[in-house]
Structure 1
Amino acid sequence: MRRILTAAALAAGTALGFAGAAYATDLEVTHWWTSGGEAAAVAELAKAFDATGNKWVDGAIAGSGGTARPIMISRITGGDPMGATQFNHGRQAEELVQAGLMRDLTDIATKGKWTEVVRPKGLLDSCTIDGKIYCVPVNIHSWQWLWLSNEAFAKAGVAVPKNWDEYVAAAPALEKAGIVPLAVGGQPWQTSGAFDVLLLAVGGTDAFLKVYKDKDGEFAGGAEIAKVFKAADDARKMSKGTNVQDWNQATNMVITGKAGGQIMGDWAQGEFQVAGKVAGKDYTCLPGLGMSNALATGGDAFYFPLLKDAEKAKAQEVLAETLLDPKTQVAFNLKKGSLPVRGDVDLNSANDCMKKGLDILAKGTVIPWTDQLLSQDTQKQKEDLFSEFFAKPDLTVEDAQKRFADIVSSAD
């Protein structure tokens, strides 16, 4: 692979703090960002990397992370690694790191002073195994949002709810107007995630951490969590008639007024933006379902498999630095709907929903999410349970809670 040093590449490299020559080489980057809003966001990363004189080769894998991750892992373990790959920061790449297949980024992180600019600190902690840093966090995603269609509630003749309880109370009016109250797609991670959001909003922060951090199975089977399962039962009744599979299809139901709302992470905001909808005018966002002033600091990160090609290995370093460049952070996150991981960037152009998230983040009301607290095996068990719970009305609340408590008891 030949090296090309151009004035433009050198200027871009200097702007990003790179020293020496820019290495012009192709670097395949795999990810599962394929919806309209996600594609617009990832294009910003590609543009920034291409400006260094290298070439982002897009390896988008259609479907959710649950579909993409096994493909990514299979390639890495099978000897066909990509240049970089998206995972959620947490424990998803833990076994790959332990197998010695992922690149140690500690020297790059030290040079870039990541510990000083990445916030909250827990994001970088989730990239750290045995004292070494293995990933670059690129955003702060939080699951704890209720997205509401102002048009749908106007059509139903009821006020836009301010919290989950008001939303449940408005469901009959929405149904009478021919509107699905709650859009929930058929992917298992959606139903599992919705339950987790309800656990935090209805049960509270202490209950959430007691279940998923302490893994207290007895508590998970008790009266406090029974209240959460009651809310989950309301949610599955409200979601009847959704009849879509992908999360962005469910989001589109809210955008078009066919559904009253959706429990989904802040990445849904990217879909509203692509559709030209304005936060606070066309749609309403309720962090914590309007009941909790806490956000989880989950999100996306890029890992870098070990490569033998020296030029591609150098390009990996350039990409790692590019991902955390302040301008790249702003451009990417404004389109992704997420929050930047840097605390020193200009967000004057942030919309109403992003400002709500930033306000909560500034107050320090943040907690780790399930990707950081549970193994992938436990996550899969949980997804299977709630996929069945939402699909089968005859699965009772009591039986579902008992199975949930068993999962928590054996969680790792």
Structure 2
Amino acid sequence: MKSIRTTLVAATALCGVSVAHATDLEVTHWWTSGGEAAAVAEFAKAFDATGNKWVDGAIAGSGGTARPIMISRITGGDPMGATQFNHGRQAEELVEAGLMRDLTEIAEKNNWKDIVRPASLLDSCTLDGKIYCVPVNIHSQQWLWLNNSVFEKAGVAVPTNWDEFAAAAPKLEAAGVVPLALGQQPWQTTLAFQVLLVALAGPDAYTKVFGDKDAEFAAGPDMARVFQAAATARDMAKNSNVQNWNDATTMVITGKAAGQIMGDWAQGEFQVAGQVAGKDYTCLPGLGVNEVIQTGGDAFYFPKVDDAAITEAQGVLAEVMMSPETQVAFNLKKGSLPVRGDVDLNAANDCMRKGLDILAKGNVIPSPDQLMSADSLTLVNDLFVEFFNTPSLTAEEAQTRFASIVEEAD
């Protein structure tokens, strides 16, 4: 492994959490959009209800911007109280360097192994049998978000799958609408490609490429279809002209664009805008083709500190984040699914129910961060930034280069 890569809860709901000293605890994360800020406020409310104080350390930009700052502080001797990373291998070098707190005792006390579903989420927090992080949600990137009114105005039926969406592009453009909103942050272009891969070539193909590092398959005919679809997506998004993912989501919400390939966190933006799932917008898991849930998401790590009060507050926050009430409140705002399999989600909307149904069926795949190193994923990101910004780069040329990256990946 190479580069390294927070419900309003009544105090009585946190019966397992006790506080001897009220402590300020700085928590760093990259949740700054409207929907994300509403969600992270639920963590802050729940933690503050214990008598401690959440000190928000939001870092503007994506994880790619925030992670190096977080890592630099930890390795430079200025650790925060808690910090967000994604599930997977991003914090492994920090753990191996002995800079992250072992949460095994807290996890065993609260029976995390019995309640976290799927088990792979807790496995991603585990190194050499010890648990080092708190998984807080299940985020899947395998979604297509559509503005229903845009299609109605263009005289096109709301698509039920990717092929219908792509076929509607000419009429959408004729109506003055950008078919596909796509931001230019590197991870967004890679996300679009990965979603197309799973939808059109299937979950097994995804595993072969990112898990098995099968370069021969990556260069083969099944993947050629995916690259051709990516070229179609590139053309559909040519007039998108936004940078951030939430700006692309806003294009869909406001009717400037018809759809967006984006993770379920986009749902938080629709909720903040007062949009109703199944009425104002449609969500298609797996692009309406291969309905799967990717078991990625977010987890919180707790850097080691030489301060007993902060150490105690870290343990309180870890328990708060995993409490049933907080899990429900946070994930309803975030658009993600809870990691606990024993919570009441009667308030779930149409899109969350779709995700829960898929999860219940066991149709899950791991996230790229759980399969491929950060160095290798950076090379993949760089390729797709270039591909989506360079119309002269053909699908065939991009596939050849992708296969070479896969061959050398770890």
Determine if the TM-score, normalized by the shorter chain, exceeds 0.5. yes
1:316 to 309, 314, 317: 314
Amino acid at match of 1:231: A
5+ long unaligned stretches in structure 1: 1-8
Indicate the residue corresponding to 1:195 in structure 2: 193
Indicate the residue corresponding to 2:75 in structure 1: 77
How far, CA to CA, are the matches of 1:129 and 1:344 in structure 2?
A: 25
Q: Deviations over 1:349-407 (max 9, x none)?
A: 10000000000000011111101111110111010000000000001111100110011
SS across alignment from 2:26? strand
How far, CA to CA, are the matches of 1:397 and 1:363 in structure 2?
A: 34
How far, CA to CA, are the matches of 1:276 and 1:180 in structure 2?
A: 22
2:148 to 147, 150, 157: 150
Residues 296 and 367 in structure 2, CA contact (< 8 A), matched pair in contact too: yes
SS across alignment from 1:52? coil
The answer to whether structure 1 residue 91 and structure 2 residue 89 are counterparts is yes
How far, CA to CA, are the matches of 1:21 and 1:383 in structure 2?
A: 44
Question: 1:151 deviation in Å?
Answer: 1.3
Q: Structure 1 150/19 Cα, relative in aligned 2: closer, same or farther at 3 Å?
A: closer
Q: How does the TM-score come out when normalised to structure 2?
A: 0.97
Indicate the residue corresponding to 1:212 in structure 2: 210
The answer to whether structure 1 residue 60 and structure 2 residue 58 are counterparts is yes
The answer to whether structure 1 residue 28 and structure 2 residue 26 are counterparts is yes
Indicate the residue corresponding to 2:233 in structure 1: 235
Determine what percentage of the aligned residue pairs are the same residue.
74
Q: Deviations over 1:121-161 (max 9, x none)?
A: 01001111111111000000000000001111111110000
The answer to whether structure 1 residue 275 and structure 2 residue 273 are counterparts is yes
Indicate the residue corresponding to 1:248 in structure 2: 246
Residues 181 and 261 in structure 1, CA contact (< 8 A), matched pair in contact too: yes
Question: 1:20 deviation in Å?
Answer: 5.1
Question: 1:23 deviation in Å?
Answer: 2.1
Indicate the residue corresponding to 2:15 in structure 1: 17
5+ long unaligned stretches in structure 2: 1-8
How far, CA to CA, are the matches of 1:163 and 1:333 in structure 2?
A: 26
Cα RMSD, aligned residues only = 1.1
Amino acid at match of 1:29: V
Residues 104 and 132 in structure 2, CA contact (< 8 A), matched pair in contact too: yes
How far, CA to CA, are the matches of 1:204 and 1:20 in structure 2?
A: 47
The answer to whether structure 1 residue 38 and structure 2 residue 42 are counterparts is no
Indicate the residue corresponding to 1:326 in structure 2: 324
Indicate the residue corresponding to 2:369 in structure 1: 371
How far, CA to CA, are the matches of 2:246 and 2:403 in structure 1?
A: 31
Q: Deviations over 1:321-353 (max 9, x none)?
A: 000000000000000000000111111010000
SS across alignment from 1:261? strand
How far, CA to CA, are the matches of 2:392 and 2:124 in structure 1?
A: 39
Question: 1:206 deviation in Å?
Answer: 1.0
Residues 136 and 298 in structure 2, CA contact (< 8 A), matched pair in contact too: yes
Question: 1:17 deviation in Å?
Answer: 3.5
SS across alignment from 2:255? coil
Question: 1:277 deviation in Å?
Answer: 0.3
Question: 1:18 deviation in Å?
Answer: 3.2
Amino acid at match of 2:311: A
Indicate the residue corresponding to 1:179 in structure 2: 177
Q: Structure 1 187/21 Cα, relative in aligned 2: closer, same or farther at 3 Å?
A: closer
Amino acid at match of 1:83: G
Residues 104 and 134 in structure 1, CA contact (< 8 A), matched pair in contact too: yes
Residues 18 and 316 in structure 2, CA contact (< 8 A), matched pair in contact too: no
Aligned residues, how many? 402
The answer to whether structure 1 residue 404 and structure 2 residue 402 are counterparts is yes
Residues 196 and 226 in structure 2, CA contact (< 8 A), matched pair in contact too: yes
Indicate the residue corresponding to 2:131 in structure 1: 133
Question: 1:261 deviation in Å?
Answer: 0.2
Indicate the residue corresponding to 1:3 in structure 2: none
How far, CA to CA, are the matches of 1:160 and 1:30 in structure 2?
A: 40
Indicate the residue corresponding to 2:106 in structure 1: 108
Question: 1:21 deviation in Å?
Answer: 4.1
Residues 22 and 53 in structure 1, CA contact (< 8 A), matched pair in contact too: no
1:287 to 282, 285, 296: 285
